[in-house]
Amino acid sequence: MIIGVPKESYPGERRVGLVPLVVPILTKAGFEVLVEHGAGEQAGYPDAHYAEKGARIVPERADVFREADIVVQILCYGSNDVTGHADLPLMRRGQVLIGFLRPFGSAEVLQEIAGRGVTSFSVELIPRTTRAQSMDALSSMATICGYKAVLVAADRLPRLFPMLTTAAGTITPARVLVIGAGVAGLQAIATARRLGAVTSAYDLRPAAKEQVQSLGGRFVELPVEAKDAQDERGYARAQDETFYQRQRELLGRVVRESDIVITAAVIPGKKSPVLVTREMVDGMAPGSVILDLAAERGGNCELTRTGETVIEHGVTIIGAINFASGVPYHASQMYARNLTAFVQYLVKDGKLQLNQEDEIIRDTLVTHAGEIANQRVRDFFSLPQMATRSAS
**CA separation for the pair 257, 252 (Å, rounded):** 9
Per the structure, the count of domains in the chain is 2
DSSP assignment of 214-261 equals HTTPEEPP-S---SS-B-TTSPBPP--HHHHHHHHHHHHHHHHT-SEE
Q: Which residues of the chain have pLDDT under 70?
A: 224-240, 387-392
45 part of the active site: no
- Point out the catalytic residue in the list 139, 230, 344, 375: 139
Structural domain ending residue among the three candidates 321, 346, 372:
321
User: Are residues 303 and 335 both part of a single domain?
Assistant: no
- Point out the catalytic residue in the list 66, 230, 235, 344: 235
pLDDT single digits (tens) 303-321: 999 999 999 999 999 999 9
User: Are residues 154 and 287 both part of a single domain?
Assistant: yes
**CA separation for the pair 184, 76 (Å, rounded):** 22
Structural domain ending residue among the three candidates 294, 321, 348:
321
pLDDT at 392: 43
Q: Is residue 187 part of a domain?
A: yes
136 part of the active site: yes
pLDDT at 232: 57
pLDDT at 250: 80
Q: Is residue 352 part of a domain?
A: yes
First to last CA, the chain: 17
392 part of the active site: no
pLDDT at 231: 55
User: Are residues 201 and 87 both part of a single domain?
Assistant: no
User: Are residues 373 and 294 both part of a single domain?
Assistant: no
**pTM for this structure?**
0.91
**Residue 71: enclosing H or E segment and its boundaries?**
strand 70-75
Which residues, 6 or more positions from 12, have their beta carbon under 8 angstroms from its beta carbon?
322, 325
User: Are residues 157 and 269 both part of a single domain?
Assistant: yes
User: Are residues 247 and 128 both part of a single domain?
Assistant: no
Asked whether the CA dihedral 359, 361, 364, 367 is positive or negative, the reply is negative
pLDDT at 60: 98
Residue 293 structural domain: 143-321
Q: Is residue 391 part of a domain?
A: no
CATH number at residue 40: 3.40.50.720
Which residues, 6 or more positions from 286, have their beta carbon under 8 angstroms from its beta carbon?
313, 314, 315
User: Are residues 162 and 286 both part of a single domain?
Assistant: yes
- Point out the catalytic residue in the list 63, 69, 87, 136: 136
User: Are residues 153 and 184 both part of a single domain?
Assistant: yes
235 part of the active site: yes
230 part of the active site: no
pLDDT at 303: 97
Q: Is residue 176 part of a domain?
A: yes
- Point out the catalytic residue in the list 56, 128, 156, 218: 128
- Point out the catalytic residue in the list 106, 131, 133, 214: 133
pLDDT at 230: 54
Taking each continuous run of H as one helix and of E as one strand, the counts in the chain are 12, 19
User: Are residues 176 and 261 both part of a single domain?
Assistant: yes
Q: Is residue 72 part of a domain?
A: yes
